[in-house]
Amino acid sequence: MLNAPDYAAVVRAAERIAGMAHRTPVMTSRTADARTGASLFFKCENFQRVGAFKFRGATNALAALDDAQRRRGVVAFSSGNHAQAIALAGRLQGAPVTIVMPRDAPSAKVAATRGYGAEVVLYDRYADDREAIGRALAEAGGLALIPPFDHPDVIAGQGTAAKELIEDTGPLDLLLVCLGGGGLLAGSALCAEALSPGCAVYGVEPEAGNDGQRSFRSGEIVSIAVPRTLADGAQTQALGRLTFPIIRRLVTDVVTVSDAALVDAMRFFAERMRMVVEPTGCLAAAAAFTGAVDVRGKRVGVVLSGGNVDLARFAELIGGGTA
Ligand SMILES: *Cc1c(COP(=O)(O)O)cnc(C)c1O
């Protein structure tokens, strides 16, 4: 069993990934503030390399391997952004990469992963066990398996986004973070505890896949069937053995938002801030916009986790209506 990461691990991760990952901008919007009655600080991981925060955890996890293992290579299973992240991190650090991806992943994500030089193995999201496939490939090839969230170096790497955010904004009252398997939320919560004591941290999930909320409130990890939601980066079935205890200890609550609220937020970012944010990337913002978390009068960090969405799909989703 690997040890749970702490804030010191996030600080080490920040040192390892410096020069490889971008320090992404923190953006504000007077329109968003007027709409919510809060001061919102958007951490724009849609501008991270490969278009999502996953590059942070991937880069840290690969950098933490010993040289011989890195040369043998790594394998990862992912619904998309983790795949691209490991693929690019592998190319930059000289590690051969094999990626196990769902057959129905957005074509832009599959193409980008192959474009970074990774070998892609496809599986059926609704029938196959991707973890078993990943483990078998790892054993056969002596590869290191880098999971998308439940790994100390991945959690610590993801936490560097919140570290940068709070360094840039100063103390926050609230921090809103999307929740899939909980790597980003757990890493963010470690940073909030260390850098902004008293900051309430909320996880935000799609309504259709509220396993995290049920787990958080019941104290036991709840598993669900693959949820059908626009938020493809949060179609996880359960929190991790490492992420769950950190989330239980440090997070205030987990709330949910509808797919319609995600589309509204996507439209807002496109129309008002000229940014493409993918549906999963809008979870935290949608919680502020809908009032799922009461942000009025508060200084609020909002992590926009990624921007990878097929443009045709994006146009189809936001076409019609105005923000
Ligand atoms: C992976 C991902 C998430 C969920 O992150 P977890 O660490 O699994 O909770 C959210 N948004 C985007 C864009 C992602 O790629």
Query: Does domain 55-145 correspond to CATH entry 3.20.20.70?
Result: no
Token pair 């936001």 in the structure block, residue? 318
Domain 7-52+151-319 maps to which CATH number in 3.90.220.20, 1.20.1440.130, 3.40.50.1100, 2.120.10.30? Answer: 3.40.50.1100
Most confident of 132-136, 149-153, 227-231: 149-153
Task: Give yes or no for residue 322 having a pLDDT over 60.
Answer: no
Phi-psi sector, 24: left (phi>0), alpha (psi -120 to 50), beta: beta
CA of 95 relative to ligand 1 center, distance in Å: 23
Task: Give yes or no for residue 217 having a pLDDT over 90.
Answer: yes
Pocket of ligand 1 (CB under 6 A): 52, 54, 81, 148-149, 158, 178-185, 233-234, 236, 278, 280-281, 305-306
- pLDDT over 90, % of the chain: 82
Domains 7-52+151-319 and 55-145 agree in fold: yes
| CA-only gyration radius of the chain, Å | 18
Strands 39-44 and 26-27: antiparallel
Note the pLDDT of residue 287: 98
CA of 305 relative to ligand 1 center, distance in Å: 7
- Which H helix or E strand runs over 256? strand 253-257
Q: How confident is the model at residue 321 (pLDDT cuts 50, 70, 90)?
A: low
**What does the domain layout of the chain look like in residue ranges?**
7-52+151-319, 55-145
* Whether residue 209 lies in the annotated active site: yes
Note the pLDDT of residue 320: 62
**Mean pLDDT value across residues 255-282:** 97
CA of 81 relative to ligand 1 center, distance in Å: 8
CA of 321 relative to ligand 1 center, distance in Å: 27
User: Pick the catalytic residue: 43, 305, 306, 307?
Assistant: 305
* Whether residue 215 lies in the annotated active site: no
Atom of ligand 1 nearest to the CA of 80: 15
User: Pick the catalytic residue: 51, 134, 180, 209?
Assistant: 209
φ, ψ for residue 300 (rounded to 5)? -125, 120
Give the span between the Cα atoms of 114 and 136, in whole angstroms: 21
Atom of ligand 1 nearest to the CA of 45: 13
* Whether residue 205 lies in the annotated active site: yes
140's CB contacts (< 8 A; 6+ apart) are none
Task: Give yes or no for residue 79 having a pLDDT over 80.
Answer: no
Atom of ligand 1 nearest to the CA of 57: 7
Which of the pair, 110 or 297, is modelled with greater confidence?
297
User: Pick the catalytic residue: 43, 57, 78, 79?
Assistant: 79
122's CB contacts (< 8 A; 6+ apart) are 100, 101, 102, 103, 110
Give the span between the Cα atoms of 234 and 148, in whole angstroms: 11
User: Pick the catalytic residue: 45, 211, 232, 259?
Assistant: 211
**Mean pLDDT value across residues 159-186:** 98
Q: How confident is the model at residue 1 (pLDDT cuts 50, 70, 90)?
A: low
CA of 53 relative to ligand 1 center, distance in Å: 8
Atom of ligand 1 nearest to the CA of 54: 15
**Mean pLDDT value across residues 198-220:** 96
Strand order through the sheet with 97-102 = 119-123, 97-102, 74-77, 144-145
Q: How confident is the model at residue 125 (pLDDT cuts 50, 70, 90)?
A: confident
Helix (H, G, I), strand (E, B) or coil at 115: helix
Note the pLDDT of residue 292: 98
- Which H helix or E strand runs over 182? none
CA of 151 relative to ligand 1 center, distance in Å: 14
User: Pick the catalytic residue: 45, 153, 205, 278?
Assistant: 205
